[in-house]
Amino acid sequence: MEFPSKESVPPYSELYVPEKFTREEQYFLAPFFSNLDKPCYVVRNLPPEVGGALASRYSRLSGTLRRTFFNEYIREMVYPEVASDWEKIPDSQRMERQKSSSEFRLWVDSFHNGACIDTRRGRAFFGRWLLEYGDDSIAELTGGIMVCFEGVSNVVVNSMEMQRIGISPIEKSSRFVSFSNKDERGKYPYVTPHEIISAGFEVEYEALMDKLFTLYSKLEILYFDYVKHHLFPIESDESSSVFERSRKAKVFDDIRDLLPFSTKTNVAFSGNARAFENLINRLIANPISEARYWGHMAYNELYALYPSLFSRIGNERGADVQIYRRDYQELASDHVGKYLTPREKNGRFSKEQVTLSSYDKEGVEKVIAAHLFHLQNSGMTEEEVLEVVRNFTGEEKARIMEDIFSVRHARGDVLREKTRHRRVPRAFEASSYIINIVSRGGDLRDLMRHRMLTFYRHGLTTRFGWRVEEDLRKFGMYPDIEGVLLESEALYEKIVKIDPLVAQYIVPFAFFQSYSMHLTAREIFWLCELRSGEAGKPAYRKIAQDISTAVRRVHPLLFAHMHTDYNQYGLARRSALKRIESKLKQ
């Protein structure tokens, strides 16, 4: 068996240029990150609320986390006099800040001098129970590990985010952050995978990527001007800040269809050791070289800090798991080639589609039975309770459901924003549904991140056709958009014959993808009430609305009181931004 090395990291063709930190900045940053010169690192020594707040910045951050942390957290701690309010605060507060600064400097000095908690007993404990006894549940007690990946492609980050248990991601948002900036080498933010270079398509591939990003960059400026002055001019009750931010969100929502899945993003994962072990094993077993690169990078960083928790990745057990995953992927690929005939490109879809393909015929009865079974001590099994419920009249079932929802709507709260966080009870997990969806790749990214569902999708493809937002289509540059999307189709067809997995890098977000969601009624409540909200992107709001309509049709008693927002809004996020601004003023 082959074991992953704790030192070597397989290349995947991307050259990482480390951030530039001064020696003093490095000194104060070192206690908080496992390294300062690699694109993958572990965040450490931070209180949970600070680490969580820091990671949350990724969704709207164009820069890197380590630089942001120094600028927003460390700088004023080390140099309190640079704070914007320094001249305004009383002397007592200045003295308090100077005292905190001194204490912080002493703590950093002690870190560099090797003063730390003796971890040998803890490591020995985990080493014994994980390695000798294989007690995986012990590794779940190690919550609060945070790993950051900067510069990972959407192809790989989407596969990483498919893991739902024990790990939570937050990613750079295509709705709020521009992807038009070039790096130090003058390259747009996309990955050129090693496989593309090996196959001799590097020049053609990068020419297409540059076209997509160049057009995206032009539209960011020109379409923004069009949206502000022609589609949604400023209204009398809007501040200039709300006006600019809401129109910019509209622009990013619309032009992100041009971003390919090769687009680089930044993502932070927070979770326990067991979940990270699973994630790393999945990455190392992935046929795509970039995925293996990030798997080895994460393994190196985590093993260096917590060797007792991550030793198994590099021993016989880890190799066995990785080889098993690789063998299964090869088997699945062989079966696809044997039993399925690929469809040629025919652009079969012109709009998003939602189909309820399967549902539990006794869903209402099973939810009521689970509701009654919970906390009962009658000595009846759940199946016996279900048999009782089967004999209820329709009126009795309706009355029980109304009673359940009356608790959720207590104190007269019936509005979505008041009740959405009052999750329907666990009994609603007793009814299940399979929903097939066709949507553009960009919206797939948003919907797949829900932890409370089982998600299946095919490899990203251009064979279902594409769609861009109607406002963007009417804008004068649609011929340029159509031309570059046709070029994407042509190159995809060349690469897919060589390596279907690597061909995914070429696919822009505008192309339709087909996938299915296996959900319980409880999960449907959460997804539809969240994703139909006013601030959501119109395309996935429509998907949430269609899911809601489909399940209401078959189970009206279960979903009659689901607060799906069916309203149509001219501009997403405008009202939300106005409310936020009003709260900040108060």
Per domain, the residue ranges of the chain are 23-169+263-334, 365-417
Query: 328: Cβ–Cβ under 8 A, 6 or more apart, which residues?
Result: none
Number of H helices, E strands in the chain: 27, 8
Helix (H) or strand (E) holding 263: none
What distance in Å separates the CA atoms of residue 220 and residue 482, rounded to the nearest whole number?
17
Task: Report the interhelical angle of 202-226 vs 240-255 (nearest 10°).
Answer: 150
State how far the Cα of 210 lies from the Cα of 201, in Å rounded to an integer: 14
Instruction: Tokens 């949970």: give the residue.
Output: 48
Mean pLDDT, residues 154-169 taken together:
89
Average pLDDT of span 272-277: 91
Statement: residue 575 has pLDDT above 80: no
Residue 231 zone, left/alpha/beta (φ > 0; ψ -120 to 50; rest): alpha
More confident residue, 416 or 41: 41
pLDDT of residue 142: 57
Is the pLDDT confidence value at 580 over 70? Answer: yes
State residue 503 phi and psi, 5-degree precision.
-60, -20
pTM confidence score: 0.88
Instruction: Say what the pLDDT of residue 126 is.
Output: 47
Q: Which of 559, 530, 555, 554 is nearest to 543 (CA)?
A: 530
The predicted pLDDT at position 133 comes to: 47
Residue pLDDT, tens place only, 198-244: 999 999 999 999 999 999 999 999 999 999 999 999 988 888 888 88
Of the chain, the end-to-end C-alpha distance in Å amounts to 63
Residue 416: predicted pLDDT: 64
- In this prediction, what percent of the chain has a pLDDT beyond 90? 55
CA atoms within 13 A on the CB side of 49: 0
- Give the range among 370-384, 459-473, 477-491 with minimum mean pLDDT: 370-384
pLDDT at 370 over 90: yes
Query: What's the burial of 204, exposed, middle or buried (CB within 10 Å: 0-12/13-18/19+)?
Result: middle
478 within 8 A of 408, measured Cβ to Cβ? no
Which pLDDT score, from 0 to 100, does residue 281 have?
Answer: 95
Our CA angle for 492, 495, 498, nearest 5°, is 150
Choice among 147-161, 381-395, 408-422 with the minimum mean pLDDT: 408-422
Residue 1 clears pLDDT 70, i.e. is over it: no
Instruction: State the average pLDDT over residues 431-438.
Output: 96
H helix runs in 227-342, sequence order: 240-255, 273-284, 289-305, 307-310, 316-339
Could you tell me what percent of the chain has a pLDDT over 70?
Answer: 90
Helix ranges (DSSP H) in 35-146: 48-56, 65-69, 75-78, 91-112, 120-126, 136-139
In DSSP terms, 171 is beta-bridged to 267
pLDDT in tens, 305-345: 999 889 889 888 889 999 999 999 899 989 988 998 877 66
Pick the range with the lowest mean pLDDT from 113-117, 150-154, 294-298.
113-117
Can you tell me whether residue 373 is helix, strand or coil? helix
Distance from C-alpha of 30 to C-alpha of 33, rounded to nearest angstrom: 6
Lowest average pLDDT, out of 3-12, 144-153, 418-427, 575-584, goes to: 3-12
pLDDT, residue 136, reads: 55
Backbone angles phi and psi of 87, in degrees to 5: -75, -15
The answer to whether 577 touches 176, Cβ cutoff 8 Å, is no
Give the pLDDT confidence score for residue 211 in this predicted structure. Answer: 98
User: Per-residue pLDDT for 482 more than 50?
Assistant: yes
Instruction: Read off the pLDDT of residues 19-64 as tens digits, 9 standing for 90 and up.
Output: 999 999 999 999 999 999 999 999 998 887 778 878 888 888 888 8
Q: What is the mean pLDDT of the chain?
A: 87
More confident residue, 188 or 120: 188
Strand partners, 264: 153
Radius of gyration of the chain, Cα coordinates, nearest whole angstrom: 26
Contacts of 234 (CB under 8 A, 6+ apart): 228, 240, 243
Using CA atoms, how far apart are residues 107 and 127, in angstroms rounded to an integer?
A: 29
Enumerate residues 6+ apart whose C-beta is below 8 A from 460. Answer: 155, 261, 441, 503, 504, 507, 511, 513
Which residue type does 370 have?
A
Lowest pLDDT segment from 13-22, 119-128, 264-273:
119-128
